[in-house]
Amino acid sequence: MSDRKRTRPPGTPESSRRTHGGIRPGEGPAGSAATGGARTGGRRKDSERQRGLPPARADAAERDRDAEEAALSGEYLAGKHPVLEALKAGRALNKIWLSNQAQRSLVQPIADEAKARGVVVQFVDKRKLDSLVPGVLHQGVVAQAAAVSYFDVEDLLARASERGEAPLLVLLDEVEDPHNLGSILRTADCTGAHGVIVPKRRSAGLTAVVAKTSAGAVEYVPVARVANLAQTIERLKEAGVWIAGADAAASQDVYGADLKGPLAIVIGSEGRGLSRLVREKCDFLLSLPMFGRINSLNASVAAGVILYEAVRQRRGQARALEGGHASP
C-alpha cells in the first residue's frame, strides 16, 4: 500500500503471506491459543457435534453449556419489548436469541432492528431460551447485554495518538473463551496497550465473566467489535500499523522480530489458530520458542509474552533516543 509509509521491520521474513498451519489446541483449563506450538483447550464453544456426540446428547450438552453461561455471563434481557427498546436505545448487545416457535410477526421487528444495528441474531429452539432465563416469560426473545460499551477502531488509534505513542493493539481471531478475553484485557492494561479488537461472530463478548476475569481492566481498556476482522486489518494497514500474527509454525520467534513500531498482534482461536484469510493478511508471523514436553501455552499467556516483549523493545528504543526512563 503506497500510503502506509512504512518499511518492513528488521528481522521479519520477506514473505508476509506464509501458509503455516494454525495455532494448535492445548490442554489449558481456560483454553489456549498461543504461539510457538501453543495450543488451546478448556471451555470450548465449538459445536458439541464436532466431538462425536449423538444429536440428542449434543443438543442437551449445548443447552447445559448455555444455561451455565446464563448463570455466569452478563445481563440477560427477556421479552419482546425490553429487547426491542434496548436496540432502539443503542444499548450494546452481544447477541439475540429468537425462538423458532415464536410468531414471525412478533420477532421480525426485532430481527430487522438487530440487523440494522449489526447485532448477531440466532434462531433456536424454545428450550434453549428457557435454559438461558429459567422461569422467565421470555416470549421467544432473549438478549445478552454487554457489560460495557464497545468502541470504534478509530477510537483505539486516537488513544495512541493522544498519548504520543505508536499504536499497540491486540486482535483476537475468534477467541471464544471469556476467561481468555478477560485475562488478555488485564494484560493489555498492564502493558499500556491501546485496545483490543474482536469480531462480532464466534468471539467472546464483554460479559460479566470477562469483566470479572479482567480484574477491572475492562473499564480501562477499550474494546472494538468489528464485523470483518480481515477488513479491519486492511484499515489498520492503511493507518500505518504492522500486523503480527501469532502462529505456532512460524520460523521467526518473537525475540527476533521488530515490535517497536505501530503494531497489532493477532492471537488465533482456541483449537483452530489463525484463520487462513487472517493469516494471509498478516505482515509477518511469529512464534514463541518451546523447550518442554507439553509444547503449549494459554492464549492470554502467549499474548502477554508478546506484549511485554513489545514493551521491552519500546522502552529500550525510548531510552536510546531520550536517555531516560520511558513508558511504552
Highest-scoring range by mean pLDDT, 7-21, 105-119, 156-170, 307-321? 156-170
- Identical fold, 75-145 and 153-322: no
pTM value is 0.66
Residue-wise pLDDT tens digits, 272-303: 888 999 999 999 999 998 888 877 678 899 99
Residue-wise pLDDT tens digits, 25-39: 333 333 333 433 333
Which CATH code of 3.40.1280.10, 2.60.120.620, 2.40.50.140, 3.60.21.10 fits the domain covering 153-322?
3.40.1280.10
Alpha carbon distance, N-terminus to C-terminus of the chain: 27
CATH number attached to the domain at 75-145:
3.30.1330.30
Per-domain residue ranges of the chain: 75-145, 153-322
